[in-house]
Amino acid sequence: MTRLGYQIPNFTYPGIGPAELFDVVARQAREADTSGFDTVLVMDHFYQISVNGARTEPMLEAYSLLAAIAARTEHAQLGTMVTGVTYRNPALLAKTVTTLDVISAGRAILGIGAAWNDDEHAGYGFDFPPLRERFERIALRRGKERLAERIEHRRQEVDAFCAFVDDRAGDPCELRGTQRLRHFLIRSERDRHGGDRVPGTSRRQLVRAGDDPGDRDDHQHLDQREGGHA
């Protein structure tokens, strides 16, 4: 299915003053919404950018505008194209976007980029670190999300595996929480490096401390790969 987004990058219209400006923008958004556009997008800038017009031309704040558009639309997702990682404190950005999501009944989306307009940063007093650091800020946020997803996936794998062990062995697994997860990771590490898989009837060894003589060596091997941390 083809999806189309409608971007509103310009707020300069002949004969339209500040008092009428939002109604003009809202009509565009509403027409896009009723015409089947999947998203309505605005720029996250504080000055107009040179490819669209003069620096002094009107530029409405993105999330205030999106919240107002949310009240005039029903279907299209709403977001920026895209939010600069340096413009807002991460906690404030999260609060802003989740508030928009509530106002719009679940239609908010977040696009985030490294930011580039040094003129805006100077004019508004925002820090403008080197490009590498700006990209690292994005990578850190995405990395934390991916790590949380991986941890949750691993926990689900461990729970499923222990249910299998319980059925085969007739007893409950003895380890819980992070210790149980660690034993599962140790076994996964061994399997990836060509270690022998344990037959089904003895798989309880994977989740019982001290039952598998190889666990001590595996702990040491995993610790070395993790930089020596438990």
Tokens of 132: 């590498």
Q: How many percent of the chain have pLDDT more than 90? A: 47
Same domain, yes or no, for 142 and 110? no
CATH code: domain of residue 46: 3.20.20.30
Query: Tokens 């076994």 appear where?
Result: 187
Same domain, yes or no, for 144 and 108? no
Kindly compute the dihedral angle of the four CA atoms of residues 137, 117, 64, 94, in this order, to the nearest 10 degrees.
0
Q: Is residue 172 part of a domain?
A: yes
Same domain, yes or no, for 121 and 29? yes
Q: Is residue 150 part of a domain?
A: yes
Same domain, yes or no, for 185 and 213? yes
Q: Is residue 217 part of a domain?
A: yes
Mean pLDDT of the chain: 75
Element (H, E) at 53: none
Same domain, yes or no, for 38 and 147? no
Helix axes 215-225, 177-192, angle to 10 degrees: 90
Answer whether 113's CB lies under 8 Å from 86's CB. Answer: no
Q: Is residue 230 part of a domain?
A: no
Residue 90 has phi, psi (to 5 degrees) of -55, -40
Same domain, yes or no, for 112 and 152? no
Domain boundary among 74, 95, 128: 128
Over residues 38-76, the pLDDT tens digits come to: 999 999 999 999 889 999 999 999 999 999 999 999 999
Same domain, yes or no, for 168 and 110? no
Q: Is residue 48 part of a domain?
A: yes
Same domain, yes or no, for 54 and 149? no
Residue 138: its pLDDT value, please? Answer: 82
For residues 38 and 36, give the distance between their C-alpha atoms in angstroms, rounded to a whole number. Answer: 6
- Residues whose CB is less than 8 angstroms from the CB of residue 121 and which lie 6 or more positions away in sequence, other chains included: 86, 115, 127, 128
Q: Is residue 68 part of a domain?
A: yes
Short-list 43, 77, 72, CA closest to 58: 43
Over residues 153-176, the pLDDT tens digits come to: 555 655 555 555 445 444 444 444
pLDDT tens sequence for the chain (230 residues): 778 999 999 999 999 999 999 999 999 999 999 999 999 999 999 999 988 999 999 999 999 999 999 999 999 999 999 999 999 988 899 999 999 999 999 999 998 899 999 999 999 999 999 988 888 888 765 555 554 555 555 556 555 555 554 454 444 444 444 444 445 444 554 554 555 444 443 333 333 333 344 444 444 443 444 444 43
- Residues whose CB is less than 8 angstroms from the CB of residue 29 and which lie 6 or more positions away in sequence, other chains included: 6, 8, 40, 69, 72, 73, 76
Domain that holds residue 99: 5-128
Distance (Å) of CA 87 to CA 71, 122, 127, 128, 134: 25, 12, 8, 9, 11
Q: Is residue 147 part of a domain?
A: yes
Burial 188-223 (b: 16+ CB within 10 A, else e): eebeeeeeeebeeeebbbbbbeeebeebeebeeebe
For residues 102 and 208, give the distance between their C-alpha atoms in angstroms, rounded to a whole number. Answer: 46
Residue 2: its pLDDT value, please? Answer: 79
Q: Is residue 58 part of a domain?
A: yes
Domain boundary among 99, 128, 157: 128
Domain boundary among 128, 162, 179: 128
For residues 128 and 55, give the distance between their C-alpha atoms in angstroms, rounded to a whole number. Answer: 19
Same domain, yes or no, for 17 and 124? yes
Same domain, yes or no, for 100 and 154? no
Same domain, yes or no, for 119 and 141? no
Domain count, the chain: 2
Within the chain, how many helices (H) and strands (E) appear?
Answer: 7, 5
Same domain, yes or no, for 21 and 123? yes
